[in-house]
Structure 1
Amino acid sequence: MMLDEPKRDEPTGPPIWMLSLADLISLLLTFFVMLFAMSSVKVDRWDEVVDSLSQSIRPAPVEPTDEPTAQMNIPRVYRKPAMNLDYLSSVIEGAIRDNPVLGHARLRHTADKLIISLPGDVMFVPGSEKLAQNARQALFVLGGVLSNIGNRVGVQGHTDPRPVSTQSRYTSNWELSLARAAEVANELKRSGYLDYINIYGFAASRYDELPRTGDEEKRYEMARRVDIVIEPHGGSGLGGS
């Protein structure tokens, strides 16, 4: 008696011909991708499509704005760069050489400062802080030069050691020297220098720094001056010396 052979399980899954079809479709897709990659895109038409889509998606473009990076929105301050003092010395010397008032000034370049010494007898009404008219015109020229630099600037007033006149409105040389420094600083501001200017009144406290000469009256004349001090670095001028 013969036993029945066990039935074999029929294979499950897609038919064999679908595998061949899938391979053919993959090859065709690869072929079309290669054709597209080798074709040239019309840039002008492409840009039109991009612009059209951009307008439809975002019709009102938003301008980028600077967002504050701190809790307090501190405005940005743009300053002019500080100028080399050697170069600045030659520029100022050329500007003041032919001026009838500034031609009397002394230009000194120390280790870390450029000092323009304006003679008080030429600049001011005697015993007063009031500038002569030609002195204002001269400071207008000098202020135009300083308006192009970013260096820190200070103004220092000086007097000779003799007491102020009893007819003067000032009770001390210090008050007179400070008032003259302020007057020169204000005139420079009106002439175009927009940064801070430190002002100081030294009266005769630096009289001993002047060179000694046989003519004491000439030395007194050198003492009655206003110094414009230009420093090699930039900044607001606050806290300078």
Structure 2
Amino acid sequence: MTQYVYGKNVVKQLLQEDKKIYEILMAEGMRDTALEKLIKEHKITCKILPRKKMDGMLQGNHQGIAAKIDDYKTYELLELLESIPKGKMPLFVMLDGLEDPHNLGAILRTCDCVGVDGVIIGKHRNVGLTPTVAKVSTGAIDTVKVAMVTNLAQSIKYLKKQGFWIVGTDFENSRDYREGQYDVPLVIVVGSEGFGISSLVKKNCDYCVRLPMEGVVTSLNASVACGILLYEIYNQRHPL
């Protein structure tokens, strides 16, 4: 199966990393000398289309360019475990019901920055690896392994048997995120934008953490909250 991904930075990175590209679509009137040079160097078929036609084909801000590539690969949970570098303290992020592709893309980008070993998402009620996710991730969709599992609760039980601690994110019955124990094999669970983590997943967490809220707003964007927590883990694991 193939798909179109779009955006100047996305296509440029695919070209620079010599990824397999079947064809490139470019809007009439678009001018980007550097991109055009890369396309010619890689000898990839480039079709010039009216911008309105591209608008109809692609959802989101394509910036006048798109590339046809293979669907993004997903992994089995066991493959994520086997890919953890020897001697590294493991860290996974599990997403429970996340629906916004912009949030998933931003989370993948942060995961790449802090060295997360993989992201685990459910096959149902979760956004998949879409072109919008690819665009927002700015390349991290290719560097951070993503496992799609049928049952998050069962996956948690399996990971516990492998020695992982499961830390949920929830405002009730939780501790300050700075009080978490992060020097162990860890899975951070982030819930959906509107409902948080499900009751069954929360039940299987070892404990939950929360971010302090001093103002009138009672929650943060899922990707922002995840980023803050991941950098606190990084800070504790890699102190100055």
TM-score under structure 2 normalisation? 0.24
Whichever of the two has the greater Rg, that structure is 1
TM-score under structure 1 normalisation? 0.23
Greater strand content: 2
